[in-house]
Amino acid sequence: MLQKFVIRINEKGILTRDGDFRAILEPGRYRFLPFGGKPAVNIHTQDTAMLTEPLVDHLLQHDPSEAKKHFIVMTLEANEAGLRFENEEPVEVLPPGARRFIWKGMKNHRLERFDIEAGAELPGALAARINPATPKNRAVQGLDGVLFVQVPAYHVGVLSIDGRIAGLLEPGLKAFWRFSRDIRVELVDTRLQVMEVSGQEIMTKDRVGLRLNLVASWRYTNVLKAFAEVGKPFDYLYRELQFGLRAAVGTRSIDAILENKQDIDEMVATHVRAKMNGFGIEVGSLGVRDIVLPGEMKDILARVVEAEKSAEANVIRRREETAATRSLLNTAKVMEDNPVALRLKELETLERVAERIDRISVFGGLDQVLNGLVSLKAG
């Protein structure tokens, strides 16, 4: 029975009889009789990958001219990664040892090879071209094999390859091959930063529990040295601030701490700067922000302060009373020996009395008024 097949202009066909390969068919119309085996045609779109690799291997071995006629052969070595282009547009990242057989068609196909043993980083222009975060870029297959890192301004990236520090990355977009290696990048802010050590429960020398909050400013002076000396510099600095604060508070009484909090700041700063010396980290300003007392201690201190202020008020009041009495005594001595001064004092007294009275009726003259107000007996 005659069988008909149609292969369109953008397609190619693989003719088999009873499952055995016979030929590759170009676009056109075909009719086959069942003589020599039942015919079948598998149709493939041009400019796509040929997934049946054994067939291409057969052609490459037994009929290389036919394979070259229909396929673009792309193969990578074990130490190579590849980027496949179609019409100069990147379309696929190929891992080491990968093979691609592309049907020849209307597009221009090209493979760019990269020796991953010579270096892990992709060229900057190529990284920007295949970066999936860029909206205008065409989606590229196989990007799981590439690590993209965007280092922000005022930051550096600490690059480690297979557990070893490999260098610092400057701000900008970076990309690295992930094949056959473990690549990690830790972003580090190089600006002055603030660290808070909050809620530290510490007991003083006289067994009073305090809660303290500490604030410190710091920055990296040598990022590579910091990460070479300490696995996690931030955690190390935080722990040393804790230790310094506990040492400063635990060796002082509650009265000494409340009387001069600056001593705590200086002691913690001295401890931390000595510990961070040579680690590529500089500690700037440092201070205890809050000292929180337990509830019962607050009441006790409030009563102590109240008693102290009350005693101070009594002392001041007695001092003023003594001064006033001494002043009155001096005035009396002056008036005793000086009748004119006494008369002036009488007039002053009369003036103050008159200021408080709306109307005064005088009988017997001014002398009678004065004699009625003030009577002095000679001693």
Output the CA torsion 228→233→236→240 (10° steps): 110
| Spatial separation of the C-alpha atoms in residues 152 and 223, rounded to whole Å | 16
pLDDT at 215: 93
Confidence category of residue 244, pLDDT binned at 50, 70, 90: very high
Confidence check: pLDDT of 1 > 80: no
Angle, alpha carbons 167-84-171 (nearest 5°): 25
- Look at 352 and 149; give whichever has higher pLDDT: 149
Q: Which of 147-156, 263-272, 309-318 has the highest mean pLDDT?
A: 147-156
Percent of the chain that is helix, strand, coil (3-state, to 5): 35, 35, 30
* Mean pLDDT value across the chain: 85
pLDDT at 261: 82
- Look at 321 and 262; give whichever has higher pLDDT: 262
- Look at 161 and 352; give whichever has higher pLDDT: 161
Confidence category of residue 188, pLDDT binned at 50, 70, 90: very high
Q: State percent of the chain over pLDDT 90.
A: 48
Residues in the chain: 379
Query: Looking at residues 131-146, what average pLDDT do you find?
Result: 89
pLDDT single digits (tens) 22-55:
999 999 999 988 888 889 999 999 999 888 788 8
Confidence check: pLDDT of 329 > 90: no
pLDDT at 377: 43
| Spatial separation of the C-alpha atoms in residues 272 and 242, rounded to whole Å | 9
pLDDT at 44: 92
Give the closest residue to 164 by CA, choosing from 117, 228, 218.
Answer: 228
Confidence check: pLDDT of 238 > 70: yes
pTM: 0.67
- Look at 152 and 351; give whichever has higher pLDDT: 152
Per-residue three-class SS string for 187-203 = EEECCCEEEEEEEEEEE
Confidence category of residue 349, pLDDT binned at 50, 70, 90: confident
The domain over range 193-293 is classified in CATH as 3.30.479.30? yes
Among 89-98, 166-175, 292-301, name the one with the lowest average pLDDT: 292-301
Residues forming a β-bridge with 49: 102
- Write down the domain spans for the chain: 119-191, 193-293, 338-379
Confidence check: pLDDT of 120 > 80: yes
Return the axis-axis angle of helices 261-276 and 233-250, rounded to nearest 10°. 140
Sequential DSSP letters for 160-173: EETTEEEEEE-SEE
Among 152-166, 245-259, 291-305, 334-348, name the one with the lowest average pLDDT: 291-305
Q: Are 335 and 342 in contact (CB under 8 A)?
A: yes
Confidence check: pLDDT of 14 > 60: yes
